[in-house]
Amino acid sequence: MELSINALKAAGAFVALPVKKDISWHADGNVQKASIYVRQDSFHTLTKRWEEQREGADATAHRIATSVCNEAGEAVFTVEDILGSEESGHGPLTAELTIALLAAIQQANGVSKEDAEKK
């Protein structure tokens, strides 16, 4: 392939619409299920994430907040929503939900469990 904008477009090298993912986790002994949308990582999101990390932001919370969105691509969470606070009236997300969200983010970005195991 010759490296050009048209060739890259044809190869799917640019971020597309958010990807729908189904997740599940346990809360109060019950299985909870939800459909979420994940914004795929882009040049902009990667550089913004690195910038936020240099400024001391929580990397995991920032990744979830910048990746999980609605169908239109609008953020569902803020970093504060994920970390919880007295002002928000709730604590942080549970570990199991955090892991389910991170797994969906990895899958939407083309990194499956099988791919990770191959490395």
> Mind listing the pLDDT tens digit for each residue in 7-50?
888 877 777 789 999 999 999 899 999 999 999 888 888 888 88
d(C-alpha 37, C-alpha 11), whole Å: 22
Distance CA 65, CA 74 (A): 10
The pTM of this model reads 0.80
pLDDT digits over 59-80, tens only? 899 999 999 999 999 999 999 9
